[in-house]
Structure 1
Amino acid sequence: MSKALLQLDGVHTHIGSYHILHGVELAVPAGQVTMLLGRNGAGKTTTLRTIMGLWRASAGSVDFDGAPIHRHATPDIAQLGIAYVPESMGIFGDLTVRENLLLAARCAKRPADIDTQRLEWIFGLFPALKKFWLYPAGKLSGGQKQMLAIARAIVEPRRLLLIDEPSKGLAPAIVANLIAALRELKATQTTVLLVEQNFAMAKALGDTVAVMEDGRVVHAGAMQQLIDDEALQQRLLGLSLGAHQ
């Protein structure tokens, strides 16, 4: 296994009076896709938001490339090259596709400043964004909005992507398109931590996997091990990956 780009050690997170994360241990290897799985309410989204500094860890440490970041403000974490695609997608519905991407391109003050080669690469991943370049983002379909959310995260090179349930509520054909796009992104050696409930996507993309339950990581290892062991799938997730081909 390659060196961990992101490491969580003993992370606890409280939200108000609620104790959500209970000592999370998680390693995300550089250049790989790590799937974060678990039943609803297991703490997956809280883990991503804690990494991003949107919620502050009350104990433990979050290290990125060997340096602690758990006391950093969210903008400072983003400046390190970490991007977050929330489950809500976080796009600006009243702005056009172009304006949404321009806001995410930190070094660009106008559309012409966006790296043309990278923009064409994004259009290759998500052709609909080129077609609807001047459309208000709020008028896009659900799948197109998800494509835009991911495109915003990668409009500039990022070292780590945190993506929360990108396939939720999408038609199978759109999910297949997302899998293809994320596979191409994976080929660029971008490190990804991906929360998913769609096990076909997990199987298609994951190199490593961590399974959460009640605010803890209860299993971590190679994705292939989980794919090959239906008893382990049933014990950890209550489901069989084989039933979600």
Structure 2
Amino acid sequence: MAEPLLRLAGLHTHIGQYHILQGVDLVVPEGELTMLLGRNGAGKTTTLRTIMGLWRASAGSVSFAGSDLAPLATPEIARLGIGYVPENMGVFAGLTVRENMVLAARGGELDQGRLDWIFSLFPALARFWSLPAGNLSGGQKQMLSIARAMVEPRRLVLIDEPSKGLAPAIVDALIEAMQELKRTATTILMVEQNFRMAQALGDGVAVMDDGRVVHSGRMAELAADQALQGRLLGLSLGAHQ
């Protein structure tokens, strides 16, 4: 088997006195979208933030394309080709949509061909290009947050709950955009609570509970096994179609 693009081994993270990650083992194959599922408080967001160096691991390793990320600062990790879409979107409300995109581009230069591709996925960004990002709706801000991670080719994109609080029509648009991003062979690790979205997009899946990965496999197999869904997640994916 090929070496996975991202591998977490025995990963522990403390935040103050709290021991959040308690030995996370996770592999993310190159060219796939891996869903990271689990109940609230399981450690999913902390996992993404630890990968990006926003939280420091207290033990274990994070390997990306054979490189150890542990000693690197967040900007250095990003320069390796890793994009990050945080749960809070991280949009600069006082800057225009264009300025938000420029900040995410290496050297502040936007590639027009790639920009046209992004506009085809998120037409609202073209309409509001010169307006403050604070004027956007919640769904449009999420589109901007994802577009910033797509403004340059990335080997890996980490996305934290992109559908949170969004209307079903906006979720459908995000699913289509993520499917298009998958076609570029970009590797994606996504935290998501919307199981319709998880089923539509996921190739592989890892389920976390209490700071550990308690299940890993193929998303289609989890989606087809309601008993396993209930045991791991306390609910059925079929109830969230």
TM-score (norm 1): 0.97
Any unmatched runs of 5+ in structure 1? none
Equivalent position of 1:200 in the other structure:
196
Equivalent position of 2:159 in the other structure:
163
Show structure 1 runs of 4+ deviating over 6 A.
Answer: none
The C-alpha deviation readout for 1:156-180, integer Å capped at 9, x for no partner, is: 1111000000000000000000000
Query: Shift of the alpha carbon at 1:67?
Result: 1.6
Work out the CA distance in 2 between the residues paired with 1:114 and 1:71.
Answer: 30
Work out the CA distance in 1 between the residues paired with 2:11 and 2:110.
Answer: 37
Task: Kindly indicate whether residue 226 of structure 2 is the aligned counterpart of residue 230 of structure 1.
Answer: yes
Work out the CA distance in 2 between the residues paired with 1:2 and 1:165.
Answer: 28
Trace 1:91-170 onto structure 2 (pairs within 5 A).
91-108=91-108, 113-170=109-166
The C-alpha deviation readout for 1:164-214, integer Å capped at 9, x for no partner, is: 000000000000000000000011110000000000000000000000000
Root-mean-square deviation over aligned CA pairs: 0.8
- For 2:144, give the aligned amino acid: L
The C-alpha deviation readout for 1:12-34, integer Å capped at 9, x for no partner, is: 00001110000000000000000
SS in 2 for 1:210: strand
Equivalent position of 1:9 in the other structure:
9
Instruction: Indicate conservation of the 8 Å contact 1:56/1:71, yes or no.
Output: no
SS in 1 for 2:126: helix
Residues 67-76 or 31-40, more deviating? 67-76
Equivalent position of 1:60 in the other structure:
60
The C-alpha deviation readout for 1:67-91, integer Å capped at 9, x for no partner, is: 2111211111001000111000001
The C-alpha deviation readout for 1:100-147, integer Å capped at 9, x for no partner, is: 001111222xxxx31110000000110000011011001100000000
Equivalent position of 2:42 in the other structure:
42
SS in 1 for 2:31: coil
Summarize the Cα distance change of 1:120–1:101 in structure 2 as closer, same or farther, 3 Å threshold.
same
Equivalent position of 1:218 in the other structure:
214
Work out the CA distance in 2 between the residues paired with 1:73 and 1:102.
Answer: 21
Query: Shift of the alpha carbon at 1:3?
Result: 3.5
Work out the CA distance in 2 between the residues paired with 1:42 and 1:2.
Answer: 29
Work out the CA distance in 2 between the residues paired with 1:100 and 1:73.
Answer: 22
Query: Shift of the alpha carbon at 1:66?
Result: 1.2
Summarize the Cα distance change of 1:2–1:207 in structure 2 as closer, same or farther, 3 Å threshold.
farther
Instruction: Indicate conservation of the 8 Å contact 1:36/1:194, yes or no.
Output: yes
Any unmatched runs of 5+ in structure 2? none
Task: Kindly indicate whether residue 80 of structure 2 is the aligned counterpart of residue 84 of structure 1.
Answer: no
Work out the CA distance in 1 between the residues paired with 2:113 and 2:51.
Answer: 30
- For 1:119, give the aligned amino acid: L
- For 1:171, give the aligned amino acid: A
Work out the CA distance in 2 between the residues paired with 1:3 and 1:121.
Answer: 31
Equivalent position of 2:185 in the other structure:
189
Work out the CA distance in 1 between the residues paired with 2:190 and 2:132.
Answer: 27
- For 2:215, give the aligned amino acid: H
